[in-house]
Amino acid sequence: MAKQTVKDLDVRGKRVIVRVDFNVPLKDGVITNDNRIQAALPTINYLVENGARIILMSHLGKIDHKDPEKRDAGMKKNNMAPVASRLAELVDTKVEFCSVTRGAELEEKVAALKDGEIVLVQNTRYEKGESKNDPELAAYWASLGELFVSDAFGSVHRAHASTVGIPSILPSALGFLVQKEVENLSAAIDNPKRPMVAILGGAKVSDKIAVIENLLKIADKVIIGGGMAYTFKVAQGYTVGTSLLEADKVELAKSFLEKANGKIILPVDTVASTAFSEETESKVFEGNIEDGWMGLDIGPKSIELFKKELEGAKTVVWNGPMGVFEMPKYAVGTESVCKAISELPEAVTVIGGGDSAAAAIKLGYKEKFTHISTGGGASLEYMEGKVLPGIAIIQEK
């Protein structure tokens, strides 16, 4: 897939709409983590240096348009003004904030842009038509610019007005962030070096059904840990105490195990406790977990098994933690897997966003992977083999 990138566009003096992902965590109007703003800087700085007139658009949080009271509270909470202030500290150019998503104020600020300057538009979700890809809204926004750059990987799986509507009208290209995501995910999923090992964790089988189905076709081995493993253990005939279990997915897990022909690798022991807490006693169970005990991490034998299964892997895709990594006592499995992947020689190692990305970063392994995705939902859909509408719409070279 050879999509145009921002370097294929002649941007000097042109109004370039860039869909960024500035959906940052805010507490009382203060940004608690600016990673997503930092991730967009290579594209923004390139456009600044090459004399584009830059119009940045992003969503922030969720806004409920069905209930006027909730809508107003959502707008107040998810105002982009703090993002504009932070961006202004990070770039070497003028940053204007426009507090509205349409109308005279926006049009005037866009018209006043000089080469290399930026206007950050208010939260795209202030508009009811954004998530519906309203054609009138998309046409209005497109009328503000001459070119479109997609650089919000966290939103490319959504066909919204700002991700799909605008580029269906304007000449378009991928920004550096999305280009890097597509290249790395494609190398790991579409054209992997073998052997390829997929590691899946997280709470529920139901969240990962399509991923398991697709990866069983692609991977040489699929290692399963985390809460979702207990549904598979029940499918094998074990008892799991009060561990997380999707009883309605046991038959599905059985069918996966049958189809897998030994490709699926499951934990052989579990660190369990009687309560969802670090304070209570924990013990390791092999085989059945006793009544009243819940599994919170993979056990030491599982860690050794997973390490052994990873030996020699040339491509590893990881999505989902092995246990309750937020509690240090139950982060051992996740950290051990993280470390084992990071030490594989000459392997392409990709984390598909979400909790596993948060775990790797929290545990200090950010620099040790080939790629950590910035979009949990988008990378998950890529792993499912789905077409991502915000990338599909971008023009080919």
Q: What is the DSSP string of 321-361?
A: -SS-TTSGGG-HHHHHHHHHHHT-TT-EEEE-SHHHHHHHH
User: What does the angle CA 259 – CA 265 – CA 266 come to, to the nearest 5 degrees?
Assistant: 110
Q: Within 10 Å of residue 209's Cβ, how many Cβ atoms?
A: 15
* Residue 314 annotated in active site: no
Here the contacts of 243-250 (C-beta below 8 Å, separation 24 or greater) are 243/270, 243/272, 243/289, 243/293, 243/294, 243/295, 244/203, 244/204, 244/294, 244/295, 246/204, 246/205, 246/206, 249/205, 249/206
What's the token pair of residue 23? Answer: 């959906």
Among this protein's residues, is 354 annotated catalytic?
yes
Amino acid making up residue 306: F
What residue ranges of the chain are covered by domains with CATH 3.40.50.1260?
6-176, 192-383
At 362-381, the pLDDT tens digits run 888 889 999 999 888 899 89
**Active-site residue identified among 3, 36, 109, 158:** 36
Active site residue 352: no
pLDDT of amino acid 377: 85
Spatial contact of 75 and 38, defined as CB atoms under 8 Å apart = no
pLDDT of res. 1: 54
pLDDT for 77: 94
Q: Which long-range contacts (CB under 8 A, 24 or more apart) does 125-132 make?
A: 125/59, 125/60, 125/61, 125/62, 125/63, 125/78, 126/63, 126/75, 126/100, 126/101, 127/101, 127/102, 127/161, 128/65, 129/161, 130/59, 130/160, 130/161, 130/162, 131/158, 131/160, 132/161
At residue 376, the pLDDT reads: 81
| DSSP bridge partners of 273 | 282, 294
Residue 276 makes CB contacts below 8 A (sequence gap 6+) with: 294, 296, 324
Which is catalytic among the residues 51, 71, 102, 377?
377
Degrees, nearest 5: CA angle 158-159-162: 100
* pLDDT reported for residue 29: 87
* CA pair distance 315, 347, nearest whole angstrom: 5
> Quick check: is 71 catalytic?
no
Cα angle: 162, vertex 166, 171; to 5 degrees: 135
The CATH homologous superfamily of the domain defined by 6-176: Phosphoglycerate kinase, N-terminal domain (3.40.50.1260)
According to the model, what pLDDT value does residue 58 have? 98
- Which residue out of 129, 165, 320, 354 is catalytically annotated? 354
The model's pTM: 0.89
CATH code linked to domain 192-383: 3.40.50.1260
- What six digits make up the tokens of 54? 């830059």
**Are 216 and 190 in contact, with CB atoms under 8 Å apart?**
no
What is the model's pLDDT at position 357?
86
Query: Which pLDDT value is given to residue 198?
Result: 97
Round to whole Å and give the CA distance between 237 and 66: 46
38 close to 174: Cβ distance less than 8 angstroms: no
pLDDT of residue 360: 87
Peptide bond between residue 25 and the one before it cis (omega within 30 degrees of 0): no
For residue 74, the one-letter residue type is G
Catalytic residue among 77, 86, 102, 204: 204
How far is it, in rounded angstroms, from Cα 216 to Cα 222? 7
CB 17 within 8 A of CB 148: yes
What is the amino acid identity at position 40? A
Token pair of 318, please? 């990881």
CB distance 225 to 202 below 8 Å: no
165 and 133 in contact (C-beta within 8 Å)?
yes
Cα–Cα distance between 181 and 40 in angstroms, integer?
Answer: 12
* Segments of the chain scoring below 70 in pLDDT: 1
